[in-house]
Amino acid sequence: MNGRIGRAQAEEIGRIVARIAADEIMPRFRAGMTAGAEGVDGLRRKTSAFDVVTAADEATERALGAALLRMFPGAVLIGEEAADAGGGALPADLIATADLAFIIDPLDGTKNFSSGLPLFGTMLAATIRGEIVFGLIHDPVTGETLTALRGEGAWAATAGGHSRELRVAAAEPVAQMHGVAGTNFLPQPLRGRLARNLDRVGLNFWLRCAAQEYRLAATGGCHFLVYNRLMPWDHAAGWLLHREAGGHSAHLDGTPYLPTHTTGGLICAPDEASWLALREALFAEGAV
């Protein structure tokens, strides 16, 4: 099987994702909602009240997996919901060895979706023997799709067919940077250290949705992202989009990110100098 994905194939995948999102996600958004998130189709907890799944997640993953296998027979599918149903174990060996694997997050930001907040998205990445070669984030609400091909750049396409190349934000001093610094999954003492140092940046926010956060970073809408928990369906696509839009990223210790890594943290910044300055500002007390 030829695992190479060219621009024409990438754009066709984008159209498939957009169609499935229109069919499976948007008809369920805010449909049948009562107080809070009650009444959402198929809503149930996974690990906590924050970590939930809906029928939209599961239907989208099934439809997208079937469509990808029709287009790429023999490809390996690694979906968030299928992994959770199997106990949540990451099949790192499949990502590392498969000639072509697709990593699927059918509905990132499910808590926002189930709360009626229009901040969610579909994330899709492709790897060839552990190397991320394709990344896509689709916003079902606006219809915009962000796509990246390794070594070939990143672009956004609107529902109307207009396209633009993506660039990360221009570098700024740390005190003028704004972005996402997620403390929730950081272990102590890093969690406390980051919380104490957040006043060194201009603004910190959190959208409860990696798809939308990476979308902002890749389009120049914010300067940085800081994460700790690194499940591949949450980060592989966004990492490539940010990289191909000109950004610099690495684990907290400076080593390169790989989709088989679930720990080590991740900092994304406009360039290497910004990355170094941001790490020093946020994790200054002792070694990371």
**CA-to-CA distance for 203 and 222, rounded, in angstroms?**
10
Residues in a beta bridge with 137: 123, 146
pLDDT cut 90: percent of the chain above it:
79
pLDDT of amino acid 52: 60
> Does residue 238 contact residue 137 with C-beta atoms inside 8 Å?
yes
pLDDT tens-digit readout, 229-282 = 999 999 999 999 999 999 999 999 999 999 999 999 999 999 999 999 999 999
> Does residue 246 contact residue 165 with C-beta atoms inside 8 Å?
no
Confidence label for 150 from pLDDT (cuts 50, 70 and 90): very high
Of the two residues 73 and 37, the one the predictor is more confident about is 73
Confidence label for 1 from pLDDT (cuts 50, 70 and 90): very low
Sheet of 101-108, strands arranged across? 76-79, 101-108, 121-128, 131-138, 145-149, 153-157, 163-165
Where are any strands of DSSP class E within the chain? Answer: 44-45, 52-53, 76-79, 101-108, 121-128, 131-138, 145-149, 153-157, 163-165, 178-181, 203-205, 224-227, 248-250, 266-269
pLDDT tens-digit readout, 184-240 = 778 888 889 999 999 999 999 999 999 999 999 999 999 999 999 999 999 999 999
pLDDT tens-digit readout, 31-47 = 855 434 445 566 555 45
Identify the H or E element spanning 19.
helix 7-20
CA distances from 30 to 111, 116, 126 (A): 12, 5, 31
pLDDT of amino acid 157: 97
Tell me the whole-structure pTM to 2 decimals: 0.91
Of the two residues 49 and 137, the one the predictor is more confident about is 137
